[in-house]
Structure 1
């Protein structure tokens, strides 16, 4: 054991997350951790201590090496920021072979071809909302009138759930992602459990409806999905629909707000995209890399054997928490990593993770972000913040970053 590893292992674990997230700032502690010869030992609000992986190569190994198990990290000692433990029946928490079976069955529902067929309808949704914003006049809240609505409409159409129920989905989503410290853990757990039960009951009813009345939507695809004669169980369909609805709505809404704020507070980059619209796709990839989405790392893995990682011997049974946000700012992989460069070649970022748990909805998110950013640039050449940047109100009490309100003029 090296001196650096001995120090990391014997020193008291550092409280994590390192600090409360401030807008889109990234705590300098991540850069300090990347510069350390060993992994950093941290303690989250719930569960046992864990190693924190911050360098690109280390993070990529953790998320791609099957010796780091998601499944074995489950339980009361799972390092986490929320009081509840993750469900074992969620595909995001499974290891092969069960994960492989589910992934193989549902991947066809998220094919590039299927997502690209949605691009024209997504542009229609975006244009209708922007028309409404223009009619009502400036200033407009880009979050309430646009960013919160686009992904909800898209995901409702994709899944085949009624858009008129969107307010219920939004309430459930916000409760499930809450880390509000203003209430007791017991009270928060009760709210989260109730919201989870209500959402799953709603989706179970949708599954039953699609069995009886098939339609041209993802819920029907899940109901009919099979591989070598093996179909998804009802519980599996509900869990998948649950993940698609929450991730497809809330994460994309936050990303739209974060990207808009980033461009509106970076006039040189905004002008570059207006002047060179062919950079749109690479700009989206670069913002996915550099603009933080979460307030910290999540989804710990547990080592199934002794593994050398980042100058540290991770012993069998120890947990490792991979920080995708930190990996995407690793200077050894991305020169001048904290700086946005829309001409940066390649898209090797880890915003959608890597390996068997690479985000199923990555193509959907990319398509929506490309359509949204492109439409905003095209429709509003004079788009600007209607308040000073420091007056923008940000979300609180959750694991995701994003503006709560984003007043704009044009």
Structure 2
């Protein structure tokens, strides 16, 4: 990027490309995104919902630059109908995803204590016990089993509920709401789910106002009580954190599917042993196409040059972390899973101020899931041909709908 406006180029803007919401099987890379990457580091897109078009950055260095540059803001997106993937778009005050500085740091501070490395170390033994109970049931019942239904869905739900402070009797209801919200089946159903979830969150935060617990709802209740954030902000902040557990289910589902359809990858992963599989997990996080299309836009707050193009003030910009993770300038032979890849500076958890709040939590769960399943289910393999594994449809987060295995 260039700071001096006098250096802005006048390169002809690329054509606007339609990017439909594709239902893809397996870990296939989105062919539309692949084509956009070939067309140039900066292209223009129109998504299924919203209005107009937006710039799209796909090159690693440009993605990092845009996401670190305060001249691109998120708050303005809440006042615009930017072209987007989701049919429903009703951001709430307090959402970290749409907060610019200094509000972003003020809001993030309210919950930071629940997501530190130290907090995850304290959580890990409890999470392992929750996981062991689930796998005990799978082992007891014997093969075959659907790992999504038996382990990959209930485990992240239970762990996120522990971190958030969701009572046991409310967990299934909360999970049903979050599942509906991340689908793309329609604005009406998602709207009802959001009303249910956010109403429940508001009641829960009020109930924890005088508490001293370390869970997220207790921290938020205390922050509201001290006047550091408003109740409205606390509710908007909690919602995406509660929904975040869904990503672990589907990311791990993709990882395990890749292992179970690639004998060499499975052998290499098993050989490393528990606690030593970090490099493999990093490579799989880099490789898997964990989402459909792109996430949330930013708005240029002034004229900025990116990749030789002038982005005018007020124009929306998307970045693709999936594309950045396949940039051959940073990741040689990017379309191959290389368990020995080093260094591996992937952007699977984002970049800049909006780096995923729950990244350490997600990584902890992923390590526990892969280690426990591989070590407790010897000879783990698919119970059906790979092309009979059903994949999620009309959703923003990709992954297998079921994963039938035997051992």
The secondary structure found in structure 1 opposite 2:289 is coil
Q: Is residue 2:148 matched to residue 1:140?
A: no
Partner of 1:49: 53
Q: Distance in 2 between matches of 1:299 and 1:274?
A: 36
Q: Distance in 2 between matches of 1:219 and 1:152?
A: 16
- TM-aligned CA deviation for residue 32 of structure 1: 3.6
Partner of 1:324: 321
The secondary structure found in structure 2 opposite 1:6 is coil
Q: Distance in 2 between matches of 1:353 and 1:84?
A: 23
Q: Distance in 1 between matches of 2:314 and 2:60?
A: 23
Partner of 1:184: none
- What are the ranges of 5 or more consecutive residues in structure 1 without an aligned counterpart? 181-187
Moved more, 209-218 or 149-158: 209-218
The secondary structure found in structure 2 opposite 1:161 is coil
Q: Is residue 2:261 matched to residue 1:256?
A: no
Q: Distance in 2 between matches of 1:308 and 1:171?
A: 43
- Gap change, CA 1:18 and 1:7, over 3 Å in 2: farther
Q: TM-score, normalised by structure 2?
A: 0.92
Partner of 1:24: 27
Q: Distance in 1 between matches of 2:298 and 2:70?
A: 10
- TM-aligned CA deviation for residue 191 of structure 1: 2.1
CA contact under 8 A between 1:203 and 1:241: conserved in structure 2? yes
- What are the ranges of 5 or more consecutive residues in structure 2 without an aligned counterpart? 1-7
The secondary structure found in structure 1 opposite 2:397 is coil
Partner of 2:269: 273
Q: Distance in 1 between matches of 2:303 and 2:343?
A: 33
- Gap change, CA 1:241 and 1:19, over 3 Å in 2: closer
Q: Is residue 2:102 matched to residue 1:104?
A: no
Q: Distance in 1 between matches of 2:213 and 2:103?
A: 28
- TM-aligned CA deviation for residue 79 of structure 1: 1.9
Please list, as runs of the form range in 1=range in 2, the aligned pairs for 1:7-406 lying within 5 A after superposition. Answer: 8=14, 11=15, 13-17=16-20, 19-37=22-40, 39-46=42-49, 47-89=51-93, 90-180=95-185, 188-212=186-210, 214-225=212-223, 230-247=227-244, 249-277=245-273, 279-406=276-403
Q: When the two structures are aligned, how many residues end up with a matched partner?
A: 397
- Gap change, CA 1:92 and 1:76, over 3 Å in 2: same
CA contact under 8 A between 1:23 and 1:402: conserved in structure 2? yes
Q: Distance in 1 between matches of 2:356 and 2:161?
A: 19
- TM-aligned CA deviation for residue 380 of structure 1: 1.4
Cα deviation per residue 1:80-131 (whole Å; 9 max; x = unaligned)? Answer: 1122224141111111111121123322221110011111111111111111
CA contact under 8 A between 1:58 and 1:310: conserved in structure 2? yes
- TM-aligned CA deviation for residue 22 of structure 1: 2.8
Q: Distance in 2 between matches of 1:389 and 1:360?
A: 34
Q: TM-score, normalised by structure 1?
A: 0.91
Q: Distance in 1 between matches of 2:101 and 2:20?
A: 30
Q: Distance in 2 between matches of 1:164 and 1:88?
A: 26
Moved more, 324-333 or 38-47: 38-47
The secondary structure found in structure 1 opposite 2:184 is coil
CA contact under 8 A between 1:279 and 1:343: conserved in structure 2? no
Q: Distance in 2 between matches of 1:88 and 1:155?
A: 21
Q: Distance in 1 between matches of 2:173 and 2:215?
A: 20
- TM-aligned CA deviation for residue 315 of structure 1: 1.2
Partner of 1:185: none
- Gap change, CA 1:86 and 1:354, over 3 Å in 2: farther
CA contact under 8 A between 2:210 and 2:222: conserved in structure 1? no
Q: Distance in 2 between matches of 1:267 and 1:137?
A: 23
